[in-house]
A and B are shown apart, each in its own frame.
Chain A
Amino acid sequence: LEPLTNAAGPPKVTDRPVEEHPIVQNLRAWDDRAVAEASQFRGELTIVLPPERLRRAAEYLQAEPGLQFDLLSDISAVDRFPIEPRFEVNYHLVSIPLRQTLRLRVWISGQDPALDTLIPVWPTANWHEREIYDLFGIRFEGHPDLHRILMPDDWEGHPLRKDYPVEGFGT
């Protein structure tokens, strides 16, 4: 009997070394400390940025003619409780003219989690950031309209945090 996890076999994607990826090289050439870590899984490139460089890197990724990441598809937060730094925030980018995709990731601490808003770069970030504020309790500095979007305004707690039970409190 094969072990269950191996039933699908190894990944079929042919990954090239991540440091040689043109997007990673481009970012490194722009700012030596912009890329904290780069990895590839199932053909998807993830670049980890230091949180304080997120805003400038976003502006660069959108404006640079060799990158042109004009569409911000999605922002997703993940709670890694009880690991510290606790939250990861993933930005899924698409370059419509160059047909490429990229995931940006920043790690932020569970102590008073906060991050720069990306609304000036991609206005679509507005509701995504409100949703993350609502469900994870991460503040976005400089957001013009940061309040709950899905839960009622007087709700207590942030439901998608891992220390929030699925069945809720007090039921």
Chain B
Amino acid sequence: MTTIETAAGTAQTMVLNMGPQHPSTHGVLRVVLELDGETVVKARPEIGYLHTGIEKSCEALTYSQAITLTDRIDYLAPLSNNLGYCLAVEKLLGMEVPKRAQYIRVLLTEMTRLNSHLVWLGTHAMDLGATSVMLYCFREREEILKIFEMVSGQRMMTSYFRIGGLALEPPPGWLDRVRRFIEMLPSRVEEYENLLTRNSIWLMRTQGVGILGATDAIALGVTGPMLRAAGVAYDVRKVFPYSSYDEFNFDVPTRTEGDSYARYLVRLAEMRESLKIIRQAMDKIPPEGPIKADAPGIIPPPREKMKTEMEALIYHFKIFTEGFAPPPGEVYQRIESPRGEVGYFVVSDGSPKPYRVKVRAPSFVNLQALPKLSEGGVVADMIACIGTIDIVLGEVDR
């Protein structure tokens, strides 16, 4: 508690603990607030409640085994993290992935972006009092999870992208299901817009709330929709393309206001761009072709070959007992996840286990901007500020 000078004289501030158990913190985030009446004088985020030591655990696993941990970093965008890690290891190996696998990866990571933005929209709207949006968003998200389950056998922790390609051939008919979904979604996005975009309560709760300008955003390392809502068109898919994103035609939506409402509009526009990419990917994916790179010591051989070929059996045994050893060196692979720039810094010392895996988590960096967004505003806007960052605490704490 400190004494402060106000226009009316001296006053005392109050310290309030928000979280770690609070529904609007989307996990276990604790924010220590210093309040002058209703006004937030100081906000200090305290994190680490979900720290599970994923980076340390990766050092004890082989390169392939570590993929399963990347799912658990950002549980709303597991495939984006799979992709970042696999691309990093592939870069370390100097490996080329077949085009078919690359297009399927693009399609599924864009589905992941839709999934993540739907959860964000639903929970953010619910935090601000618009409960019905959450029910609609989760209805659509369910369909995405069913597609993930169809392709990989898992709804959330898919581990579907493997080093050198994909885990398995997607089942017949999966593209029809994707087509049905993306034909249905645009009208649903319109429905959300009808509920919120010109809704006067929504406008009052988000317009001019949590303003972050371009200069501050870059200085604080903020990326993703938050940076683009401040007017900077930095999207890793465009600036440093990976996984054949340079062959796709899409726009990078930006706004200049930098408030919660601008971030809402950017994320909605991004959902429409994702749909565009998915449509193009469906046309590009060849009906047949390899889904794994041709690298015998790294990619496990098919089951049938193991029963007829000696080499295949030896490789299989070696990959699953020892793993494979990339040449010594280090790479940093950045990709655009729904929340911003995900970076995987993978260091190899020439052994079958990564020497160091560092995850650059966008939620961790973006959360640093919370004091900037909320200080000077009122307590009730704290909820809007936390929601608009779109944090996933699993990723913040890793």
Task: Report which A residues bind B (CB closer than 8 A).
Answer: 1-13, 41-42, 44, 70-74, 76, 78-79, 90, 92, 96, 99, 101, 103, 122-124, 126-128, 135, 148-152, 159-160, 166
Contact = CB atoms under 8 A, between A and B. Distances in A.
23 contacts: A1-B311, A4-B298, A5-B297, A8-B326, A9-B94, A12-B96, A13-B94, A41-B331, A71-B223, A73-B223, A73-B334, A73-B343, A76-B345, A76-B360, A90-B345, A101-B240, A124-B219, A124-B220, A126-B368, A150-B51, A151-B48, A160-B55, A160-B56
Given A42-B92, A135-B55, 9 more contacts: A4-B298, A8-B93, A70-B218, A96-B239, A101-B240, A122-B219, A124-B219, A149-B47, A159-B56
A7 B298 contact: yes
A81 B219 CA distance: 33
A110 B329 CA distance: 22
Contacts of B273: none
Contacts of B223: 71, 73
A171 to B, nearest CB: 13
Contacts of A76: 345, 356, 358, 360
A92 B48 CA distance: 23
A42 B326 CA distance: 13
Contacts of A11: 94
B375 interface: no
A72 B221 contact: yes
B51 A151 contact: yes
A73 B221 contact: yes
Interface string B198-242: 000000000000000000001111110000000010100001100
B297 A74 contact: no
Contact of B345 (A6, A8, A74): A74
A96 B47 CA distance: 29
Interface in B293-342: 295-298, 311, 314, 318, 322, 324-327, 329-332, 334, 341
A9 B360 CA distance: 29
A149 B48 CA distance: 6
A96 to B, nearest CB: 5
Those 8 A-B pairs whose CB atoms lie nearest each other, nearest first: A124-B221, A7-B297, A4-B297, A76-B358, A74-B360, A11-B94, A8-B93, A150-B48
Contacts of B345: 74, 76, 90, 92
B77 interface: no
Contacts of B397: 150
B95 A92 contact: no
A115 to B, nearest CB: 17
Nearest to A99: B239
Contacts of B327: 5
Residue of A1, A73, A123, A127 with highest tally of chain B CB at under 10 A: A73
A74 B358 contact: yes
Nearest to B396: A150
B276 interface: no
A72 B221 CA distance: 6
Given A122-B219, A123-B220, A152-B48, A7 B94 contact: no
Nearest to A9: B94
Contacts of A159: 53, 56
Contacts of A5: 297, 324-327, 350
A125 B332 CA distance: 18
A92 B221 contact: no
Nearest to A5: B325
Contacts of B296: 2, 7
B365 interface: yes
Contacts of B239: 96, 99
B60 interface: yes
